[in-house]
Chains A and B, each alone.
Chain A
Amino acid sequence: MTDVLIIGDTFRSPELRHEVPLGVPDPFVYLERDGARHVYVGSMEVDRIRGARGDLTVHPLEEVGIDELYAQDLGWLEIRLEWAARACAHAGLTRAAVPQTFPAGHLDRLRRAGIELTVDQALFDERRRIKAGPELDGIRRAQLAAEAGLTTGVALMRQAENGDGVLWLDGEPLTVERIKAAMRLVFAEHGCSAEEFIVAPGPQGAVGHEMGHGPIRFGEPVVFDLWPRDDASSCFADMTRTIVVGPVSDEVAGWHRVTKEALGAATALIRAGVDCRSVFDAACEVYEAAGYDTQRTKTAGEVLRHGFFHGLGHGVGLEVHEGPYMGLLPGGELVAGDVVTIEPGCYDPAVGGVRLEDLVLVTDDGCEVLTRFPYDLEA
């Protein structure tokens, strides 16, 4: 059995949050030695971590002589390095798999202590892939929060009026900032929060991760891409819809039609065992048949700005972007328990874009679509 070492806090290390499922803001040491799970952490966190998971042996740092380190007038990092080395010695760890993001600064100290560390991200990704229990519950709660937030955002747009070409509501322009503030409140009411999210009107919607700002023009598409995180589980959801108030141009209506078709074609293929690349290909074929560029048709090194220029989807869990990836890169096969997004989109930087994104749970014979929200362009 491979021994494992993770050093970090559970807000920034999803690998660690998966093993120690509660919020611990300061870095600590987690290791697995011969299948037994050990945590070495400041004494103020000991009881809470013991309470979160019964199979963890939790050692307060006093067991590895933290007081004697403090007495030596060392800096923070030096103390953390020593404590990591002592924890490994205490548990008899000599060789361990670590995640890709293992702090490089700890490497030299631990290797000097004779500990062999090997990066094996695949091992950690595999552990996190199949969603079940509290993580899946958390994803479902985050998805409900996303839908409730979007309902509020769309309702504001629906009530708005055309005032000299831009949307107005209650005597003021209805800006992206106003819509986002209202949506954030809804996330908070659902026990979720969002670092950021996209409400991007017009040309902003064609700029990848542009988060959106300012007034909204009558008749332009607004891309809503939301990924709230459930506070209790730290798990994300992810969904996108595109909304227009005012007359919809033929071009935008065409993008919407082909995007919905691509979403349908891709979703129909999802089931355990299907190759990720083939799902991406199915979406690309829909766009290419309609005359749009995709990553498959661009030349190497070219920066694509029109058509379907991004990947189709990704896993969602403790990270908003995680494996499996459905895009140009080989992504392997889907497995039952994967939670993945399917998010085709079509863009023109001069006009904006249309993107639709659903979150699905892969099953043996298909998938459960977790997103329940109409695809309509009209608010």
Chain B
Amino acid sequence: MSDVLLIGDTLRLPELRHEVPVDIGDPFLYAETGGRRVAIVWSVEGDRIALVDPSIEIVPSETFSIDQLLRDGLDPYEVFPALFSQMVASLGLSRALVPDRFPLGIADRLRADGVELVVDQRFFDDRRRRKSGFELAGIRAAQNAAEAGMRAIAALLERSHPSGEGRVVDGEPLTCERLRAAAAAAFAALGCRGDDMIVAHGAQAADGHDPGRGRIENDDTVLCDLFPQHIESACFADMTRTFRVGAVDATIADWHGQCVEALELAVAMVRSGCEGGEIHRAVCAFFEERGHMTQSTRPEGSVQTEGFNHGLGHGVGLEVHEAPGVSRVSHGLVAGDVIALEPGLYRRGFGGVRVEDLVLVTEDGCEVLTDYPYGLDP
């Protein structure tokens, strides 16, 4: 079995958070070698790691003295790479698998000291595709918060009424910013956070990850893509609904019907063993039959500004976008994968519609984790 080496903090390195499921904000070392799992971590982190996973052996970083390094006149920027190199040497590690994001500054030092580091992102991705019970519970908690956030947005839209300058609720202008604040409060009440949700109205909805801004018009379409993170587990959920207020727009209503149908078609295909790319292509074919451009039909090298211009889906877990790919980048699905499926139709300058559900892949199908109506009416 290969040795494994991870250096980083658990807020930014999902590979490390999967092994050490506690939030540790400062960089530390985790290794698997000779059947041992070892974390070398500053004692300010206390017993937090041992409490969640007693199989990890804890060594205090303080047992590696920086005094000698300082006496050697090392530049402060060289102290930590040198300290990590001492730690690696103490474990007798000579060759280890590391993820793509292993810090280059430390890799250079370790390699100079004769440690062989082999980047094998697939190895770490595969580990993370099998969610732990704790992670899956976290995803469900995040999904629950996403739905609460969506309800908070829908309630404001539903209570809003037209005025001379756009929609109003409780005498105050209704804006994308206000809708986001309502969703953020709903997340916070459920132990989740989400600082980059999309609540985009009108033409903004056609602009990819534009988070949205400004006043909701009297007749308007609001695309809400919410991906809160459950704080304790650091796991995400991901869902999208599109709402319409005021006068009906025939194009939006038509696109919405097609997106819901495409989503149902995609969900029906999901099961262990199915290729993610196959589901993506089926949805592309569905949209192409209805006259839309997709990634499969657009002229190569051109920027696509209308139709279905993104991938159908992606894995969700410790990252909001992770393996497996359900798009032009494809993985075979396995039971236990959690994937988001998000068909959408757009036209730059006009607007867009997207609906997105989160599903858990099982042997013979999937469990839809999203429990929220698709309706355009908030």
Secondary structure at the A interface, as helix, strand, loop or mixed, is loop
- A44 cross-chain contacts in B, Cβ below 8 A: 207-209, 309-310
A102 in contact (CB, < 8 A): yes
Residue of chain B at shortest CB distance from A23 = B196
In the complex, identify which listed stretch (B186-194, B216-224, B243-251, B370-378) lies at the interface while the others stay far away. Answer: B186-194
Q: How many residues of A contact B (CB 8 A)?
A: 73
B34 in contact (CB, < 8 A): no
> Of A26, A44, A48, A196, which is in contact with the most chain B CB atoms at under 10 Å from its CB?
A44
B48 in contact (CB, < 8 A): yes
Q: Which of B310-353 contact A (CB under 8 A)?
A: 310, 320-321, 323, 325, 328-329
B193 and A195 within 8 A (CB): yes
B113 in contact (CB, < 8 A): no
A103 and B209 within 8 A (CB): no
Q: Which of B87-135 contact A (CB under 8 A)?
A: 98-108, 117, 119, 121-122
Residue of chain B at shortest CB distance from A207 = B46
Given contacts A188-B184, A209-B45, A209-B48, contact A47 B101 (CB under 8 A): no
- A25 cross-chain contacts in B, Cβ below 8 A: 196, 209, 320-321
Q: Complex: how many Å from CA A257 to CA B355? A: 58
Given contacts A43-B304, A193-B193, contact A121 B77 (CB under 8 A): yes
- A26 cross-chain contacts in B, Cβ below 8 A: 321
B195 in contact (CB, < 8 A): yes
B325 to chain A, nearest CB (A): 6
A209 and B76 within 8 A (CB): no
B62 in contact (CB, < 8 A): yes
Residue of chain B at shortest CB distance from A302 = B62
A243 in contact (CB, < 8 A): no
A239 to chain B, nearest CB (A): 16
A330 and B181 within 8 A (CB): no
> Of A98, A107, A181, A310, which is in contact with the most chain B CB atoms at under 10 Å from its CB?
A107
In the complex, identify which listed stretch (B20-28, B165-173, B257-265, B357-365) lies at the interface while the others stay far away. Answer: B20-28
Given contacts A44-B309, A189-B181, contact A24 B191 (CB under 8 A): no
Q: Complex: how many Å from CA A302 to CA B76? A: 21
Q: Which of A312-339 contact B (CB under 8 A)?
A: 320-321, 328-332
Residue of chain B at shortest CB distance from A76 = B329
B137 in contact (CB, < 8 A): no
In the complex, identify which listed stretch (A63-71, A86-94, A153-161, A259-267) lies at the interface while the others stay far away. Answer: A63-71
A28 to chain B, nearest CB (A): 11
A77 and B121 within 8 A (CB): yes
B188 and A209 within 8 A (CB): no
B44 and A209 within 8 A (CB): yes
Given contacts A24-B209, A77-B121, A231-B195, contact A101 B63 (CB under 8 A): no
B70 in contact (CB, < 8 A): yes
- A305 cross-chain contacts in B, Cβ below 8 A: 43
B188 and A185 within 8 A (CB): yes
Given contacts A70-B329, A105-B100, contact A189 B185 (CB under 8 A): yes
- A173 cross-chain contacts in B, Cβ below 8 A: none
Residue of chain A at shortest CB distance from B44 = A208
B102 and A229 within 8 A (CB): no
Residue of chain A at shortest CB distance from B302 = A62
A122 in contact (CB, < 8 A): yes
B209 and A209 within 8 A (CB): no
Residue of chain A at shortest CB distance from B320 = A25
B79 in contact (CB, < 8 A): yes
- A102 cross-chain contacts in B, Cβ below 8 A: 103-105
- B25 cross-chain contacts in A, Cβ below 8 A: 195, 209, 320-321
Which of A79, A184, A191 is close to B181, meaning CB atoms less than 8 Å apart? Answer: A191
- B100 cross-chain contacts in A, Cβ below 8 A: 77, 103-106
Which of B76, B104, B184 is close to A103, meaning CB atoms less than 8 Å apart? Answer: B104
A60 in contact (CB, < 8 A): yes
Q: Complex: how many Å from CA A330 to CA B99? A: 31
Residue of chain A at shortest CB distance from B63 = A301
Q: Complex: how many Å from CA A330 to CA B75? A: 9
Q: Which of B1-58 contact A (CB under 8 A)?
A: 8, 11-12, 23-26, 42-48
B72 in contact (CB, < 8 A): no
B210 in contact (CB, < 8 A): yes
A352 to chain B, nearest CB (A): 13
B195 and A45 within 8 A (CB): no
Given contacts A188-B188, A209-B48, contact A46 B104 (CB under 8 A): no
- B76 cross-chain contacts in A, Cβ below 8 A: 329-332
Which of A101, A209, A328 is close to B104, meaning CB atoms less than 8 Å apart? Answer: A101
Contact with B along A10-27 (1 / 0, CB 8 A): 011000000000011110
- A75 cross-chain contacts in B, Cβ below 8 A: 122, 329
B289 in contact (CB, < 8 A): no
A208 and B45 within 8 A (CB): yes
Q: Complex: how many Å from CA A77 to CA B15? A: 15
B254 in contact (CB, < 8 A): no
A100 and B104 within 8 A (CB): yes
B193 and A104 within 8 A (CB): no
A181 and B189 within 8 A (CB): yes
A184 and B188 within 8 A (CB): yes
A103 and B231 within 8 A (CB): no
Given contacts A45-B208, A76-B323, contact A101 B105 (CB under 8 A): yes
- A255 cross-chain contacts in B, Cβ below 8 A: none
Q: Complex: how many Å from CA A328 to CA B70? A: 10
Q: Complex: how many Å from CA A209 to CA B8? A: 16
A44 to chain B, nearest CB (A): 3
A303 in contact (CB, < 8 A): yes
Q: Which of B246-305 contact A (CB under 8 A)?
A: 295, 300-304
- A121 cross-chain contacts in B, Cβ below 8 A: 77, 105
B60 in contact (CB, < 8 A): yes
B70 and A329 within 8 A (CB): yes
B48 and A104 within 8 A (CB): no
Q: Complex: how many Å from CA A115 to CA B112? A: 19
- A46 cross-chain contacts in B, Cβ below 8 A: 303
Given contacts A193-B195, A321-B25, contact A105 B101 (CB under 8 A): yes
7 shortest interchain CB distances as A-B pairs:
A208-B44, A44-B208, A105-B100, A100-B105, A207-B46, A231-B195, A193-B193
Query: Can you report 25 residue pairs joining A to B where beta carbons are below 8 Å apart?
Result: A25-B209, A48-B207, A67-B300, A68-B301, A77-B122, A100-B104, A101-B104, A102-B105, A104-B107, A117-B104, A184-B191, A188-B188, A188-B193, A196-B23, A207-B46, A208-B45, A209-B46, A211-B48, A301-B65, A302-B62, A303-B62, A305-B43, A320-B25, A329-B70, A330-B76
Residues of A at the B interface (CB closer than 8 Å) are: 11-12, 23-26, 42-48, 60, 62, 65, 67-68, 70-71, 74-77, 79, 98-108, 117, 119, 121-122, 181, 184-185, 187-189, 191, 193-196, 207-211, 229, 231, 234, 300-305, 310, 320-321, 328-332
